[in-house]
A and B are shown apart, each in its own frame.
Chain A
Amino acid sequence: MTLQVEIRGLVKSFGAHAVLRGVDLDVRSGDVVVVIGPSGSGKSTLLNCINFLEPFEEGSIRVGGQLVGYKIDTHTGQRVRQPEQELNALRSRIGMVFQHFNLFPHMTVIGNIIEAPIRVRRQQQDAAISNARALLARVGLAAKESAYPSELSGGQQQRVAIARALAMSPEVMLFDEVTSALDPELVGEVLAVMRDLAKDGMTMVVVTHEMNFARDVSDWVVFMDEGLIVEQGEPENFFKKPQTERAREFLRRLLDK
């Protein structure tokens, strides 16, 4: 199977604090990879490096075979920034959903969804709108296309955010703790949309604290702690018999709650 995301030796610091200390990760096309771990373990930073919202110091990331953020100058052999236009084109193929939704508050629901297809992809307005309507129907919000984000519940806003990312027909979707800011009763509707996407064969990298989702939906579980991948494996194995003491400790604390 082809690799959709390929991360090698990723190192990232905020000042003196090393957040990622050498991460290798492969995500195969069509797989759902769930990244779990205690807060501050570097999960979200890892995700933000994949579409270069965060630059990194060392290592490389490839998405669909293409290097992200940097390239190697063929003459000097040194690492140089990727030209902005290339980076933008690459980002447009990587969907991202955020913890706090980050919908554009001055645009309607459908305005949020068609913005990038029209402005970045140069889609015709009619095509963008009909595609957006299909996506809204898919996330169960066909009736809300003219609403403003502030008129929606958190769960609805997050489903719009998913539709907004999907409108660019991404090759891979990144989910950054997308249910953490939601009231408990709204978590289910967002996870349902994500399950539906997974079933459809979307390649997904999901940072989450939802262990049931990790167990039921993922093809691969990655456990991070202190900027390193401590353990990874298939969900059945990982949740039944974690190999490392740190993973066992993490799961035990979650179950105690």
Chain B
Amino acid sequence: MDFNWNIFLYSLGPLLKGCVVTAELSLISIAIGIVIGTFGGVARLSKRIVMSGLMRLYVTIFRGVPLLVTLLFLYYGLPAAGIQLDAFTVAIIALSVTNGAYITEIVRGSIESLDPGQVRAARSLGMSYALAMRRIILPQALRRVLAPITNESITLLKNTSLVSTIALSDLLRAGLEVMSSKANTFSPFAGVALCYLALTLPLLALNNFLERRYRVT
């Protein structure tokens, strides 16, 4: 074992910088993914076949194509078609769109698991479909999506490590750089692992808080 306290402590500086990038990517993509997924889940259940068909296609594509491939395609593939995006933008797009596909399915599933009598009651009172969704269905679906969306968010956070392949200085990349500059593999990776673990903890805490606040009644 070549654990070395000095290298471990030295690596904390670069790793913290990497943490900031990883956290930024995660938070932005989680937020965008939730917005996409909420509208996507509702659209997926639309009676308009074009709308629900498009959403089905979207989900199929981005659950089927590996995130790594999406990243590489956007970063190395698109410039060949004349579209040049910077690495951070590419990372945000790929992570959000992939995350959005998964959350679309989570939202759809949780809406479908609700009692159809809820929509009937809302419509019988004269509410429009949109109003019934916003006031009656989505607030109830919210309680059911908290746990699976937390799961997705943790997965996304860890998947941000893939962006090191498109030259972003995220947490993993920071670890790799320390490794090559200090010729020590064990210490920086121990730090990287701990950092990822530490980053997931606030997500878990947020989930616990929300689950208590919106407890299923």
Interface residues of A (CB under 8 A from B): 51, 53, 84-85, 88-96, 98, 100, 102-106, 115-116, 119-121, 148-150, 161, 164-165, 168
| Interface size counted on chain B using CB atoms at 8 A | 20
Task: Tell me, in angstroms, the Cα distance from A104 to B124 when the chains sit together.
Answer: 13
- Residues from chain B with Cβ under 8 Å of A115 in the complex: 125, 135
Min CB distance, B47 to chain A, in Å? 12
B128 touches A102 (CB 8 A): no
- Known A-B contacts: A88-B123, A91-B123, A168-B125. Give 19 more (CB < 8 A): A51-B124, A84-B128, A88-B126, A88-B127, A88-B128, A91-B124, A94-B124, A98-B121, A100-B115, A102-B121, A105-B217, A106-B139, A106-B140, A106-B217, A116-B126, A119-B135, A120-B127, A165-B124, A165-B125
In the complex, what residue of chain A is closest to B140 when comparing beta carbons?
A: A106
Given A106-B140, A119-B131: A53 touches B126 (CB 8 Å cut-off): no
- Residues from chain A with Cβ under 8 Å of B82 in the complex: none
Interface residues of B in 96-153 (CB under 8 A from A): 115, 117-118, 120-129, 131, 135-136, 139-140, 143
A168 touches B120 (CB 8 A): no
Given A102-B115, A106-B217: A119 touches B127 (CB 8 Å cut-off): yes
- Residues from chain A with Cβ under 8 Å of B136 in the complex: 104
- Please indicate which of the listed interface residues B118, B120, B126, B135 has the most CB atoms of chain A within 10 Å of its own CB: B126
Task: Tell me, in angstroms, the Cα distance from A91 to B124 when the chains sit together.
Answer: 6
A116 touches B115 (CB 8 A): no
- Residues from chain A with Cβ under 8 Å of B143 in the complex: 106
- Please indicate which of the listed interface residues B121, B136, B140 has the most CB atoms of chain A within 10 Å of its own CB: B121
Given A106-B139, A115-B135, A150-B217: A53 touches B117 (CB 8 Å cut-off): no
B123 touches A92 (CB 8 A): no
Can you offer 21 A-B residue contacts whose CB atoms are under 8 A? A53-B120, A84-B128, A85-B128, A88-B126, A91-B125, A91-B126, A92-B125, A94-B124, A95-B124, A96-B121, A102-B118, A103-B121, A104-B118, A104-B136, A106-B217, A116-B125, A116-B127, A120-B125, A121-B126, A164-B125, A168-B125
A98 touches B120 (CB 8 A): yes
* CB-contact partner of A96 in B124, B139, B217, under 8 A: B124
Min CB distance, A16 to chain B, in Å? 22
In the complex, what residue of chain A is closest to B131 when comparing beta carbons?
A: A119
Task: Tell me, in angstroms, the Cα distance from A164 to B143 when the chains sit together.
Answer: 24
